Amino acid sequence: MSLYEATVPQLTKMLSNLERWIDEAEAHAKTKGFEPDLYLGFRLAPDQYAFVRQVQSACDSAKFAAARAGGKEPPKHPDDETTLVQLRARIRAVIDFLASFDPSDFEGAESREIRLPFMPGKAMKGIDYVHQMGLPNFYFHLVHAYAILRHNGVPLGKMKFIGGLDVYDV
């Protein structure tokens, strides 16, 4: 499996799932009679990011994983979302950025040197970055966003997390 296949399609799928979780959260808030934007401040524990920051971080992790492995400059986002509508726009912007890649962008990506801004003087090979940092960090924040919604009563289950499967008849 190429690094393109390991990143772009799956990151896109999971960000699309995240958009659907927000749909479910909005519907749940309406049935319970509270403002859906309250979800932005919800968190699992006092020392963890709130929902808004988990979504921002999942988006950042997705765009950085693809950009660093695919050799493109990621878009900048100021982390100033205060509504679910704005969070949706951020998710959509990252999905659109991911759509700008094609497999040829990832040619040689396995051995591409990835420098990490938070580890000055250190680098990783592309394949190691994607599998040891890019994807795990993305899923870390995505799972926390999911768990915050689920913890607050949004009726999400495993298949809403996983999303559609490419199955066929046998």
Domains of the chain, start order: 3-162 (1.20.120.450)
- pLDDT per position as a tens digit, 140-156: 999 999 999 999 999 99
Of 127, 117, 107, 121, nearest to 74 (Cα)?
117
Of 144, 155, 138, 147, nearest to 14 (Cα)?
138
Residue with tokens 């680098």: 123
d(CA 30, CA 71): 43
- pLDDT per position as a tens digit, 8-51: 999 999 999 999 999 999 999 999 999 999 999 999 999 999 99
- pLDDT per position as a tens digit, 70-128: 999 999 999 999 999 999 999 999 999 999 999 999 999 999 999 998 899 999 999 99
